């Protein structure tokens, strides 16, 4: 592995650590702020390893986190935010096959669409009023990103999704199920 690849993968591992701990936050705003930092670093990681759609989606995700961490200021209850972000997710998908040299094979078309599914699921979580919903939708987002990361050999991303999925399950048990039982 070259020095460049080690740096790229190291950035992904730092991003992974931040994202894992984000799901243990009790407050949605704190969860989202931590995900801002994780997404920002994952954007750098993805672009460095040549995973363009992952890089774009993480940049969009970082911006989305800023917007939704400040819901009142940006009036995020407007459906236009959701529509606008979904449009940018799809635009990143289109750019992957038109501007970037990704061959539009059936496998590539499918794999490159998976993180968009993950982004929409997590976005719905951001517009929900609770961290509980964010955790539940992570059960869709995390596996979608996991497959994408495996195909692109994003080591930090792969480990992140394994731990995030476990962290989501722990968060659901610790903060949601046990709370309902009391």
Q: What is the pLDDT along the chain (182 residues), one digit of tens a residue?
A: 899 999 999 999 999 999 888 877 888 788 888 989 999 999 999 999 999 899 999 999 999 888 988 888 999 888 999 999 999 999 999 998 998 888 999 999 999 999 999 999 988 987 888 888 988 999 999 999 999 999 999 999 999 889 889 988 998 999 888 777 76
Give the integer Cα–Cα distance in Å for 175 and 28: 12
Do 12 and 158 meet the contact criterion of CB atoms below 8 Å apart?
Answer: no
- DSSP label at 177? I
**Nearest residue to 74 (alpha-carbon basis) of 90, 63, 88:** 63
Give me the residue spans of the domains in the chain: 3-181
User: What pTM was estimated for this model as a whole?
Assistant: 0.84
Give the integer Cα–Cα distance in Å for 28 and 69: 8
Backbone angles phi, psi at 103, to 5 degrees: -75, 130
């Amino acid at each position: 592995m070259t020095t460049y690849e080690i740096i790229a993968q190291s950035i992904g591992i730092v991003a992974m650590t931040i994202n894992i701990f984000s799901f243990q936050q009790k407050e949605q705003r704190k969860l989202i702020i931590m995900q801002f930092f994780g997404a920002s670093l994952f954007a750098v990681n993805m672009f460095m390893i040549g995973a363009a759609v992952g890089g774009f989606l993480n940049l969009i995700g970082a911006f989305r986190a800023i917007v939704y961490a400040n819901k009142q200021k940006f009036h995020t209850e407007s459906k236009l935010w959701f529509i606008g972000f979904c449009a940018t997710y799809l635009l990143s998908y289109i750019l992957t096959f038109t501007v970037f040299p990704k061959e539009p094979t059936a496998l590539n078309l499918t794999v490159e669409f998976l993180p968009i599914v993950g982004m929409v699921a997590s976005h719905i979580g951001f517009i929900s009023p609770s961290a509980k919903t964010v955790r539940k939708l992570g059960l869709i987002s995390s596996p979608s990103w996991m497959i994408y990361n495996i195909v692109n050999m994003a080591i930090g991303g792969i480990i992140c999704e394994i731990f995030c999925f476990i962290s989501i399950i722990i968060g659901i048990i610790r903060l949601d199920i046990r709370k309902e039982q009391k």
